[in-house]
């Protein structure tokens, strides 16, 4: 292939192909300067036209051609910095470490659809190299896309564990865009305060609604910074609270049934039937279990009825306030500790429950994103660096996804 053709194919600023060597599965191209331009100091970032100290070269990897890996020998000049007198290698913007910028961009695209290990196997690189390149490229793109933080009209906030021993990251999702727009290590008021401060007072006032799990820290932060926003305790978490209460009663009665050697009741309340009892829709299997429970165990049957009665509140906005009040009274009078506690909880947060009828937003998008994040963590066998983990969340669920236009 003619050297001019290779030069056009490589399309590297101010450089041309001088020698091409093809060996086995590699193509080695030695470059030379096609135009002498002032060197840029890698320390201060300024052009030093008259302070060239010496000349050297580096070998970097570029995108492959015809199934062969491509390596470039690039001439580099050393310059004496006019700021501090230190001798440094010139900076070339299209080089990132030992790779071209477009090679780093390819790694960034590959790791958005697969794991670092598989991307490394495909490109012939080790995991550590892929991690280093990916982290650097994500950090570079993050400066362009994540700052300043985009102001949402409707948002949901939720946390997800990234390591054991209660280590969490908080994600803020734009409900309209269905994407993570901000995240940070930690959870609670202190963490969410950082998000609102990054938005600024003017943008905070534009937030119309916030869906959350009703955690005290989040509510306090929202009240302080986004007082105009309508806070919604979404029914996704409401269902979770109800299921947890039913499951607590189920476990208590299962333990009692085993102590009394009640085999039939133990079989119904066993954990393999738990998912049938937790279903939100009344299937034939669930209906059969409820009919058997009605005659075998009044407490679990009552717990199931309380759950179904609460969910029916969402079917009629006109009677929701009255039905919620009646449910709270029934839960407190049930004498089941799990539902007594839940009754008082919903009493304290009754306004947030009813706000759903004013603005029907939920954290369902956040929960879906949380599931993607957990899958991402499992595929990578966990993350040791929380900053890299936050960037990967943006890459897979937010504004750093290659499919998102800038």
Question: CB–CB of 182/152 below 8 Å?
Answer: no
Q: Which of 97, 55, 96 is nearest to 78 (CA)?
A: 55
Question: CB–CB of 10/17 below 8 Å?
Answer: yes
pLDDT of residue 374: 87
pLDDT of residue 60: 94
Per-residue pLDDT tens for 29-67? 999 988 878 888 777 777 766 567 788 899 999 999 888
Region at 300 (left for phi over 0; alpha for psi -120 to 50; beta for the rest): alpha
pLDDT in single tens digits along all 406 residues of the chain: 588 888 898 999 889 999 899 988 899 999 998 887 888 877 777 776 656 778 889 999 999 988 899 999 999 888 878 777 788 888 888 999 899 999 999 999 999 999 999 999 999 999 999 999 999 999 999 999 998 998 899 999 988 888 877 789 999 999 999 999 999 999 999 999 999 999 999 999 999 999 998 899 999 999 999 999 999 988 888 988 999 999 899 888 888 888 888 887 787 777 655 656 666 666 676 677 777 777 788 888 899 889 989 988 988 888 999 999 999 999 999 999 999 999 999 999 999 999 999 988 877 787 788 888 888 888 888 788 899 999 999 999 999 998 875 4
pLDDT of residue 286: 67
Give the integer Cα–Cα distance in Å for 226 and 345: 23
pTM to 2 decimal places: 0.83
Q: Which of 149, 172, 155 is nearest to 210 (CA)?
A: 155
pLDDT of residue 71: 95
Burial of 303 (0-12, 13-18, 19+ CB in 10 A): buried
Question: CB–CB of 221/189 below 8 Å?
Answer: yes
């Amino acid at each position: 292939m003619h050297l001019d053709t290779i030069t056009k194919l490589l399309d590297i600023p101010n450089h041309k192909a001088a020698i091409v060597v093809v060996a086995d599965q590699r193509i080695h191209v030695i470059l030379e300067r096609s135009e002498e331009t002032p060197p840029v100091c890698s320390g201060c970032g300024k052009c030093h036209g008259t302070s060239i100290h010496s000349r050297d070269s580096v070998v970097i990897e570029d995108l492959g051609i015809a199934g062969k890996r491509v390596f470039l020998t690039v001439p580099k000049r050393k310059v004496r910095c006019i700021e501090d007198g230190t001798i440094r290698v010139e900076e070339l913007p299209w080089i990132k470490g030992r790779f071209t910028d477009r090679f780093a961009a390819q790694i960034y695209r590959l790791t958005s659809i697969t794991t670092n290990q598989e991307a490394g196997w495909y490109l012939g690189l080790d995991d550590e190299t892929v991690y280093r390149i990916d982290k650097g490229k994500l950090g570079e793109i993050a400066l362009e896309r994540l700052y300043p933080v985009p102001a949402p009209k409707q948002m949901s906030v939720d946390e997800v564990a990234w390591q054991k021993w209660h280590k969490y990251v908080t994600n803020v999702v734009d409900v309209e865009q269905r994407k993570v727009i901000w995240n940070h290590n930690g959870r609670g008021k202190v963490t969410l305060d950082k998000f609102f401060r990054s938005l600024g007072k003017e943008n905070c006032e534009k937030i119309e609604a916030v869906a959350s799990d009703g955690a005290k820290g989040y509510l306090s932060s929202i009240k302080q910074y986004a007082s105009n926003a309508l806070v919604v305790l979404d029914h996704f978490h409401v269902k979770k609270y109800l299921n947890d209460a039913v499951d607590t009663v189920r476990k208590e009665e299962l333990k009692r049934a085993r102590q009394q050697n009640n085999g039939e009741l133990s079989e119904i309340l066993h954990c393999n039937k738990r998912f049938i009892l937790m279903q939100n829709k009344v299937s034939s299997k669930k209906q059969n279990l409820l009919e058997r429970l009605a005659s075998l165990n009044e407490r679990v049957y009552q717990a199931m009825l309380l759950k179904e009665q609460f969910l029916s509140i969402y079917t009629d906005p006109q009677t929701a306030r009255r039905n919620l009040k009646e449910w709270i009274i029934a839960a407190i009078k049930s004498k089941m500790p799990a539902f007594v506690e839940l009754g008082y909880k919903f009493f304290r947060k009754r306004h947030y429950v009813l706000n759903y009828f004013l603005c029907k937003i939920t954290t369902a998008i956040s929960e879906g994103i949380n599931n993607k994040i957990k899958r991402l963590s499992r595929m990578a066998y966990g993350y040791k660096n929380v900053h890299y983990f936050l960037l990967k969340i943006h890459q897979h669920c937010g504004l750093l996804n290659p499919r998102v236009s800038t």
